[in-house]
Amino acid sequence: METVETRPLTTWDKVAGLVVVGLMMGFLLNPIQSAVATVLSLVFHPLSTVLPFSALLSGVGSATGLITTVVAMRLRDDDRAQELKERAETLQERLDGDDEDELEELSPELANTQWELLKTSIRPALWSALVTVPTFLWLRWMFADPATALAPAVVVLPALGPVTLTATIVGPVKVWLAWYLGASISTRLVTRRAIRYLS
Tens-digit pLDDT profile for residues 118-133 = 888 888 899 999 999 9
Please choose, from the candidates 13, 14, 6, the residue with its C-alpha nearest in 3D space to the C-alpha of residue 84. 6
Provide the 10 A C-beta neighbour count for residue 181. Answer: 14
> Under a CB-based contact definition with an 8 Å cutoff, are residues 165 and 54 in contact?
no
Over residues 136-174, the pLDDT tens digits come to 999 888 877 655 555 555 666 666 677 777 777 777 778
> Under a CB-based contact definition with an 8 Å cutoff, are residues 23 and 32 in contact?
yes
DSSP secondary structure letters along 102-144: HHHHHHHHHHHHHHHHHHHHHHHHHHHHHHHHHHHHHHHHHHH
The average pLDDT across 6-24 equals 89
Check pLDDT > 70 for residue 199. Answer: no
Predicted pLDDT at 24: 94
> Under a CB-based contact definition with an 8 Å cutoff, are residues 143 and 151 in contact?
yes
Check pLDDT > 80 for residue 4. Answer: no
Residues 48-67 as b/e (b if ≥16 CB within 10 A, e otherwise) read: beeeebbebbbebbbebbbb
Predicted pLDDT at 99: 64
Mean pLDDT over the full length of the chain: 82
Q: What are phi and psi of 8, to 5 degrees?
A: -70, 155
Residue type, 134: P
Provide the 10 A C-beta neighbour count for residue 174. Answer: 18
Q: CA 127: distance to chain centroid?
A: 8
pTM for this prediction: 0.79
Please choose, from the candidates 28, 3, 12, the residue with its C-alpha nearest in 3D space to the C-alpha of residue 133. 28
As a whole number of angstroms, the distance between CA 61 and CA 82 comes to: 30
